[in-house]
Amino acid sequence: MPALAALADATRTLIGVSIYQSPPSHAVTLDSAQVVNTRKTRGGQIQPIPVPKTRWYLADLETARTRADMGDLSLVGQLCRAMRADGLIHGLRKTRTSGLVALPKRFRGDPELIAKLSPDNETRTIFDEMFPPSELALLADDGLCLGVGVAEMVPVEGRDHPVMVRLDPEYLHYRWSEDRWYYRSLSGLLPITPGDGRWILHTPGGRLSPWQSGLWPTLGDAFINKSHAKLHRGNFSCKLANPARVAHAPLAATEDQKAGFLNSLIAWGINTVMTLPVGWEASILESNGRGWQVFDKQIETADLDTMISLAGQVVTVTGGTGFANADIHQTIRADLIKETADALAYTIDTQGIPPWTWQQKGNLDDSPRVEWDAKPDEDQKIAAETMSAVATAVDGLTAALGPSGLAPDTVELTKRFGIPTIKVPKIKPVDPDDKEREDDGSP
């Protein structure tokens, strides 16, 4: 227990937990007997069954705003899950999250621990075992859409590192009076302590009311309007798919003749053929209205809002000029990819990896840090060309300034152009006379 307390203090300092935060009002934790017994009866599950909501209205969006500002994210969580039914929203969210975690990873920190996290062979790494890409993508998606996400580090029998399991954010609850997050589990309210080795709280939307920075208000408005427009367009099309049939009878026709002719029109089916006497006529009354254009315009506007919100641009999503079937950088704006990548990396670096580092070393000195390489290939090419140009310029300046007793400030140049450097120990030159004495065996 003292070791766990020390870990908690270290991670609180690492994360930057306010000294004014109140202690949890519920003593039940993930390791309490109550929670353990619940897991045994539910196959290890503590998350309740998600509540489906299949029909959404703008009034529901207003209700979700009100509840969220009171700390209840149940309706917002249901909305973010329901929006996956829209192909455009789901596709762009997957590209921005699943596409992100598939990018190359870079580690910094303790070389020995980094070697354990990312071996050189092609086997599955410890990092991927602790943080499966699918779970990371879901957590990043919650942070993107909702502004906040939550996950649990679940112990695994037979190995000394846990696995991250993303939990549905529908059951997140924030208490303003305590400045603390809780999770409504099958065992009741559980206080969330980020970085304690069991909880991970992803808040890219900010520390205070992160839900207000999520994309759900914009995406929710587009999703609801688009879904209703599609229903209305379908209803409009169904009504006009079977146009009215009109019978033209001559003035001398009797009522019995008119009724018989009308019955023939009512029985009109596929490939119907009729023989009409002189003066009789059958036709179709078709609508030339343009009501469907209103619904298409609504759908187009909703898709535009979705693409701007998630991708930051439209051209490469719609396949206009400049479109190419390639990678994430050609669909999502580069700065948005980096924003999502940096937020996810910060959460893992401060709450996910440090408990494992503590287990390995007993301290958090130089704990490994991960980052996703979100730079487009074009930027990497420019960076390489810049380094080459700087190297050429330094050589030229050194030769030009040498006669004047001056030299270029290489430290300042490397900082200004973002060239990574390391300290290299100076190697003492070998004296040729000493080398000769060693060869002939002289002392």
Three-state SS sequence of the chain: CHHHHHHHHHHHHHHCCCCCCCCCCCCCCCCCHHHHHHHHHCCCCCCCCCCCCCCCCHHHHHHHHHHHHCCECHHHHHHHHHHHHCHHHHHHHHHHHHHHHCCCEEEECCHHHHHHHCCCCCCCCHHHHHCCHHHHHHHHHHHHHCCCEEEEEECCCCCCCCEEEEECHHHEEEECCCCEEEEEECCEEEECCECCCCEEEECCCCCCCHHHHCCHHHHHHHHHHHHHHHHHHHHHHHHHHCCEEEEECCCCCCHHHHHHHHHHHHCCCCCCCCCCCCCCEEEEECCCCCCHHHHHHHHHHHHHHHHHHHHCCCHHHHCCCCCCCCCHHHCCCHHHHHHHHHHHHHHHHHHHHHHHHHHHHCCCCCCCEEEECCCCHHHHHHHHHHHHHHHHHHHHHHHHHHHHCCCCCHHHHHHHCCCCCCCCCCCCCCCHHHHHHHHCCCC
Domain check: are 304 and 336 in the same one? no
Domain check: are 409 and 423 in the same one? yes
Confirm whether 322 is domain-assigned. Answer: no
What band does 344 get if pLDDT is binned at 50, 70 and 90?
very high
pTM of the model: 0.74
pLDDT at position 299 is 87
Mean pLDDT in residue range 5-19? 64
Is residue 349 predicted with pLDDT exceeding 60? yes
Domain check: are 19 and 136 in the same one? yes
Across the chain, mean pLDDT equals 81
Q: Of 293, 317, 341, which one is at a domain's C-terminal end?
A: 317
What band does 378 get if pLDDT is binned at 50, 70 and 90?
low
pLDDT at position 323 is 36
Domain check: are 86 and 106 in the same one? yes
Is residue 70 predicted with pLDDT exceeding 90? yes
Is residue 289 predicted with pLDDT exceeding 70? no
Domain check: are 297 and 202 in the same one? no
pLDDT at position 320 is 46
Domain check: are 195 and 277 in the same one? no
Domain check: are 280 and 134 in the same one? no
Domain check: are 352 and 417 in the same one? no
Is residue 441 predicted with pLDDT exceeding 60? no
More confident residue, 397 or 209: 209
Q: Of 317, 340, 358, which one is at a domain's C-terminal end?
A: 317
More confident residue, 155 or 421: 155
Domain check: are 35 and 147 in the same one? yes
pLDDT at position 63 is 96
Mean pLDDT in residue range 139-159? 93
Mean pLDDT in residue range 218-223? 94
Q: Which domain holds residue 419?
A: 377-439
What band does 16 get if pLDDT is binned at 50, 70 and 90?
low
What band does 324 get if pLDDT is binned at 50, 70 and 90?
very low
Q: How many structural domains are present in the chain?
A: 3
Mean pLDDT in residue range 390-394? 78
pLDDT at position 64 is 96
Domain check: are 144 and 272 in the same one? no
Confirm whether 125 is domain-assigned. Answer: yes
Which range of 165-174, 232-241, 316-325 scores highest in mean pLDDT? It is 165-174
What band does 397 get if pLDDT is binned at 50, 70 and 90?
confident
Is residue 20 predicted with pLDDT exceeding 70? no
Confirm whether 298 is domain-assigned. Answer: yes
Confirm whether 368 is domain-assigned. Answer: yes
Domain check: are 176 and 254 in the same one? no
Is residue 241 predicted with pLDDT exceeding 70? no
Domain check: are 63 and 174 in the same one? yes
Q: Of 337, 356, 372, which one is at a domain's C-terminal end?
A: 372
Confirm whether 263 is domain-assigned. Answer: yes
Is residue 287 predicted with pLDDT exceeding 80? no
Confirm whether 194 is domain-assigned. Answer: yes
Mean pLDDT in residue range 319-325? 42
Confirm whether 44 is domain-assigned. Answer: yes
Least confident of 169-183, 226-240, 253-267: 253-267
More confident residue, 6 or 434: 6
Confirm whether 323 is domain-assigned. Answer: no
pLDDT at position 290 is 64
